[in-house]
Amino acid sequence: MLAASLPPFFNVPFANGAGASYIRAIPLASQIGVTPGAASLVDGFPPLCFLPVSAGGVPPFGQDMNGILNEITANLQWLQAGGVPAYNAAFSAAIGGYPQGSVLKKAAAVGFWISTADNNASDPDTGGAGWEDYSTALLASAVLTGTPTAPTPATGDDSARIATTAFVAGALGDVKGNAAGWGSFSTPQTIGHANAGGCWDINANVLIQVDTSALAAGDRFFLVANNSAFTLQRVDGGAIGVLGYTNFSVPVAIPQGDSIELTWQGSALVVTGGSFCAVYSHGVPALINAALVPYETIANASAVAGNWSSVAGNGNAAITLTAASYGQLTILEAPAGTVQTVTLPPPVDGRKIGLINFTGTLPGASLVAATGGIYGPGGTYDYHSAGTALVLPYGATAVFTSDGSNWIFESGSLATLGINQPPVDVAGSRAFNTTFTNLTGRPLPVHVDGLASQSAQTMEALVTDGAGNAVTIFGTAAGSANWSASIDFTVPPNGTYKVWPSAGSFSSVHWVEMRTRGL
Asked if the structure places residue 146 within a domain, the reply is no
Tell me, yes or no, whether 253 and 222 share the same domain.
yes
Which span out of 63-77, 186-200, 325-339 was modeled with the highest average pLDDT? 63-77
Asked if the structure places residue 152 within a domain, the reply is no
3-class DSSP state for residue 203? Answer: coil
Top pLDDT among 417 and 447 is at: 447
Q: CB atoms < 10 A from the CB of 257, how many?
A: 13
Return the pLDDT at 198.
81
Listed in sequence order, the DSSP H helices in 118-265 are 165-176
- If residue 90 lies in a helix (H) or strand (E), which one and from where to where? helix 89-95
Q: Are 329 and 311 in contact (CB under 8 A)?
A: yes
Return the pLDDT at 360.
57
In angstroms, rounded to a whole number, what is the distance separating the alpha carbons of residues 271 and 245? 11
Amino acid letter at 173?
A: G
Q: Are 517 and 414 in contact (CB under 8 A)?
A: yes
Largest CA distance in the chain: 130
Tell me, yes or no, whether 367 and 390 share the same domain.
yes
Return the pLDDT at 181.
57
Q: What is the mean pLDDT of the chain?
A: 78
In angstroms, rounded to a whole number, what is the distance separating the alpha carbons of residues 137 and 508? 60
In angstroms, rounded to a whole number, what is the distance separating the alpha carbons of residues 474 and 457? 11
Asked if the structure places residue 165 within a domain, the reply is no
Asked if the structure places residue 324 within a domain, the reply is yes
Tell me, yes or no, whether 363 and 408 share the same domain.
yes
- Reported as a pLDDT band with limits 50, 70 and 90, residue 135 is low
Return the pLDDT at 305.
32
Residue-wise pLDDT for 95-121, tens only, equals: 999 999 999 999 887 888 999 999 999
In angstroms, rounded to a whole number, what is the distance separating the alpha carbons of residues 259 and 243? 17
Asked if the structure places residue 193 within a domain, the reply is yes
Return the pLDDT at 165.
61
3-state SS record for 135-172: CCCCCCCCCCCCCCCCCCCCCCCCCCCCCCHHHHHHHH
Return the pLDDT at 171.
55
Top pLDDT among 317 and 353 is at: 353
Return the pLDDT at 348.
87
Q: Are 212 and 191 in contact (CB under 8 A)?
A: no
Q: What are residue 254's DSSP bridge partners?
A: 230
- Reported as a pLDDT band with limits 50, 70 and 90, residue 292 is very low
Asked if the structure places residue 161 within a domain, the reply is no
For 221-229, what is the mean pLDDT? Answer: 86
Tell me, yes or no, whether 180 and 231 share the same domain.
yes
- Reported as a pLDDT band with limits 50, 70 and 90, residue 185 is confident
For 59-68, what is the mean pLDDT? Answer: 94
Tell me, yes or no, whether 61 and 99 share the same domain.
no
- Reported as a pLDDT band with limits 50, 70 and 90, residue 518 is very low
Q: Pick the closest to residue 433 from 497, 509, 504 (CA basis).
A: 497
For 317-344, what is the mean pLDDT? Answer: 80
Tell me, yes or no, whether 255 and 338 share the same domain.
no
Asked if the structure places residue 160 within a domain, the reply is no
Domain residues for 441? Answer: 423-518
Tell me, yes or no, whether 408 and 454 share the same domain.
no
Return the pLDDT at 249.
64
CATH for 494: 2.60.120
Tell me, yes or no, whether 491 and 450 share the same domain.
yes
Residue-wise pLDDT for 255-291, tens only, equals: 877 788 888 888 888 877 766 654 333 233 333 222 3
- Reported as a pLDDT band with limits 50, 70 and 90, residue 87 is very high
Q: Is the pLDDT of residue 64 over 50?
A: yes
For 157-162, what is the mean pLDDT? Answer: 57
In angstroms, rounded to a whole number, what is the distance separating the alpha carbons of residues 264 and 243? 12
Return the pLDDT at 371.
85
In angstroms, rounded to a whole number, what is the distance separating the alpha carbons of residues 285 and 243? 8
In angstroms, rounded to a whole number, what is the distance separating the alpha carbons of residues 56 and 207? 105
Return the pLDDT at 306.
36
Tell me, yes or no, whether 110 and 48 share the same domain.
no
- If residue 225 lies in a helix (H) or strand (E), which one and from where to where? strand 220-225
Query: How many domains is the chain built from?
Result: 5
Q: Is the pLDDT of residue 414 over 70?
A: no
In angstroms, rounded to a whole number, what is the distance separating the alpha carbons of residues 286 and 304? 10
For 494-509, what is the mean pLDDT? Answer: 92
In angstroms, rounded to a whole number, what is the distance separating the alpha carbons of residues 191 and 377? 48
Return the pLDDT at 98.
95
Return the pLDDT at 284.
34
For 35-39, what is the mean pLDDT? Answer: 94
- Reported as a pLDDT band with limits 50, 70 and 90, residue 138 is very low
Q: Are 315 and 340 in contact (CB under 8 A)?
A: no
Top pLDDT among 240 and 463 is at: 463
Q: Is the pLDDT of residue 426 over 60?
A: yes
Return the pLDDT at 182.
66
- If residue 459 lies in a helix (H) or strand (E), which one and from where to where? strand 459-464
